[in-house]
Amino acid sequence: MSQLIPPHGGKGLTCCLLEGAELAAELKKAQGLKKINISAREKGDLIMMGIGGFSPLTGFMTKADWKSVCENFLLADGTFWPIPVTLSASKEDAAGIAAGEEIALFDPEREEFMATMKVTEKYEMTAADKKFECEKIYMGEGTKTAEEFWKIAKDDHPGVKMVMEQKDVNLAGPVKVLSEAEYPTKYAGIYMRPAESRKIFQERGWKEIAALQLRNPMHRSHEYLCKIAVEVCDGVFIHSLVGNLKPGDIPADVRVKCIDALVKNYFVEEHVLQGGYPLDMRYAGPREALLHATFRQNYGCTRMIIGRDHAGVGDFYGMFEAQTIFNKIPKPEGGKGLLCTPLKIDWTFYCHKCDGMASLRTCPHDKKDRVLLSGTALRKGLSEGTPIPDHFGREEVLAILREYYAGLEEKVEIKLHGAATGK
């Protein structure tokens, strides 16, 4: 009997990835099906459905699911789910697909069949529908009105741009996943399926496990968050996004090296596990924090570390909105509710007067005594070659990052926002 938290949705891990003879037969069948090209985001969502990371989802959402998720944080059957998982196609491609028809989902970048799908529903996504999704999913407390939100979101919010640039028809239906793409080989030893992390947690005797979400290199604040979690849980799962980011973010292989250096030099290794997952960032702030907790439950985690401006971008979200949203979500019963709970931690920093890491809850000193830590500020300083303040990051990590930035031929301008500067 497993001591671990059950997967989300009450149906166990719902894995859509085929293997062996079944995979070979489906790949052969895919060659003769109508081919639909998919985006990088859709590819990551497919893989997560394949490996059980998105349990209980086994396909792309119907219109009823999409609308209910946007409005109510629930699938049509009453299961908690915070963010739409949809597949878009052009009107021309959709017009040639009949209900009940099977299609092949193709990754044009790798020129690889990723899945087959039985189309159960087609529904149009008008500009108004896309705007509705954006306002429900991406509009946080940082913008008070829809008018104010759209003044900046259409150009400055990568998640909003992603939704508005989607094709005009959504296709819904169950999938059979044919590939995990480059992840098992490119990130060997880091990328893992939920069944694999659960097996390791079980072998280590862990029951209470906290997940740390990472899309930036680990700085001192991340390290401190992990150490708080280790003190109150059996272990911490440092779980990095290895899918696509926005321009200027640091690639996954560099971030993995940084984590390795930190864990080796500053942690008791038996209390830490590093892993990677294949999604693209949506930059949905509070809603994405909920998604992170949902799929971390599938990986076996009981707690989700939520600090300042989790999964945020710019000044779209309140600094701790990703914490308070957990108090507002519906709580369905019978395995349909979210069981992974937030480990809420205040803004953390190095304080010279405290002579160590502290937070707004523990440090009584002035802002001038604090080294405010931010992944954005770190990337901006490294990119521009400006000195990094003492106690911002470990020297072993900074050496890796300086080497990476020294090798860049073209650098992206990085803007600081309020959450990165303390303003």
C-alpha–C-alpha distance, residues 303 and 135, integer Å? 28
Query: Catalytic pick from 170, 216, 255, 394?
Result: 216
Measure the CA angle with vertex 194, ends 192 and 196; round to 5°.
Answer: 60
Q: How many CA atoms lie within 13 A of 127 on its CB side?
A: 1
C-alpha–C-alpha distance, residues 261 and 108, integer Å? 35
C-alpha–C-alpha distance, residues 237 and 228, integer Å? 13
C-alpha–C-alpha distance, residues 394 and 274, integer Å? 18
Query: Catalytic pick from 193, 215, 370, 394?
Result: 215
> With contact defined as beta carbons under 8 Å apart, do 280 and 244 qualify?
yes
Q: Can 216 be counted among the known catalytic residues?
A: yes
C-alpha–C-alpha distance, residues 221 and 372, integer Å? 9
Contacts of 59 (CB under 8 A, 6+ apart): 16, 49, 117, 120, 172, 173, 174, 175
Q: What is the DSSP string of 119-171?
A: --EEEE--HHHHHHHHHHHH--TTS-SHHHHHHHHHHH-HHHHHHHTS-SEEE
C-alpha–C-alpha distance, residues 38 and 260, integer Å? 33
Q: Which amino acid is at 225?
A: L
Contacts of 211 (CB under 8 A, 6+ apart): 236, 237, 239, 292, 293, 296, 299, 301, 303, 304, 305, 340
Q: Can 255 be counted among the known catalytic residues?
A: no
> With contact defined as beta carbons under 8 Å apart, do 49 and 58 qualify?
yes
Active site residues: 215-216
